[in-house]
């Protein structure tokens, strides 16, 4: 069986929400929401927190140790190089890329990615966003690809944007890859819903949403969707 490694990208120097990795949601930091939820995967055996060598990110090394996941520290701006070197250092054969701003990432969606990828029909599979009209809500899934595909991206990505966003080269050159964006199951097919945290407003809304609906580290994606739809109905009636 090939070595599957899940890599979480994280750093403290977010431009829109500085220090967001340590922002607390129901007494747990954002980065720990992500780590603890992906650790529930039945198929992932190794998790790496990939961050930078910047002093601000020293705290992430402590968090990785506390949560018993591996740490890799690399370049700040060239995210692709950091990601590639993290994968290479761990001798990864299959890589799952997870963004650290998705507190509700669902282990079931990660295991679904792996199951699909093991069929060996595609170079790249995703279920993290509404890509190719998959209709997925934003924030529950991830991306999966082989180390050989990552190597191809690493050596061919030239633009600043392609170096800052690990898989952008694939989307800029879809014709060169066998790509699958998994169609969302009916209970997750709400492409207008977004659960990632990029701005102070995103954080305030997610924090309030978690408290109001008593969402926990074990809450599943389908239930989080139900809570959100119910909340939206209440808002439409002018109660909230």
Q: Which residue range forms the structural domain that includes residue 93?
A: 4-236
Query: Which alpha helices (DSSP H) does 98-199 contain, by range?
Result: 107-117, 147-156, 160-164, 168-172
pLDDT of residue 203: 96
Q: Token digits for 37?
A: 């939820």
pTM given for the model: 0.95
* Dmax (CA) of the chain: 54
Q: What is the DSSP letter of 194?
A: B
Residue identified by tokens 């009916």 is: 186
Q: First and final CA of the chain: distance in angstroms?
A: 51
pLDDT at 116 over 60: yes
d(CA 102, CA 60): 16
Q: In whole angstroms, how far apart are CA 156 and each of 113, 150, 170, 179, 200? A: 25, 10, 10, 18, 35
Q: What is the average pLDDT across 208-225? A: 97
| 120 — pLDDT class (breaks 50, 70, 90) | confident
Domain count, the chain: 1
CATH number, residue 66: 3.90.550.10
> Cα angle at 227 between 223 and 26, to 5 degrees?
90
pLDDT computed for residue 239 by the predictor: 52
């Amino acid at each position: 069986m090939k070595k599957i490694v899940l890599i979480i990208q994280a750093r403290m120097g977010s431009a829109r929400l500085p220090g967001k990795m340590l922002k607390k949601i129901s007494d747990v930091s954002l980065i720990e929401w992500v780590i603890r939820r992906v650790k529930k995967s039945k198929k992932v055996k190794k998790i790496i927190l990939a961050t930078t060598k910047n002093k601000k990110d020293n705290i992430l090394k402590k968090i990785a140790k506390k949560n018993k996941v591996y740490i890799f520290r690399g370049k700040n701006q060239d995210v692709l190089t950091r990601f590639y070197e993290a994968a290479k250092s761990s001798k990864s054969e299959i890589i799952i890329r997870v963004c650290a701003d998705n507190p509700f990432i669902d282990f079931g969606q990660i295991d679904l990615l792996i199951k699909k990828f093991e069929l060996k029909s595609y170079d790249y599979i995703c279920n993290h966003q509404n890509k190719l009209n998959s209709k997925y809500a934003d924030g529950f899934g991830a991306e999966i690809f082989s180390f050989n595909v990552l190597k191809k991206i690493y050596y061919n990505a030239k633009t600043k944007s392609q170096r800052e966003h690990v898989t952008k080269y694939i989307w800029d050159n879809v014709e060169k890859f066998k790509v699958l964006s998994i169609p969302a199951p009916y209970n997750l097919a709400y492409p207008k819903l977004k659960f990632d945290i990029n701005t102070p407003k995103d954080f305030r809304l997610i924090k309030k949403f978690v408290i109001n609906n008593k969402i926990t580290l074990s809450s599943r994606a389908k239930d989080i969707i139900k809570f959100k739809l119910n909340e939206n109905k209440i808002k439409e009636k002018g109660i909230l």
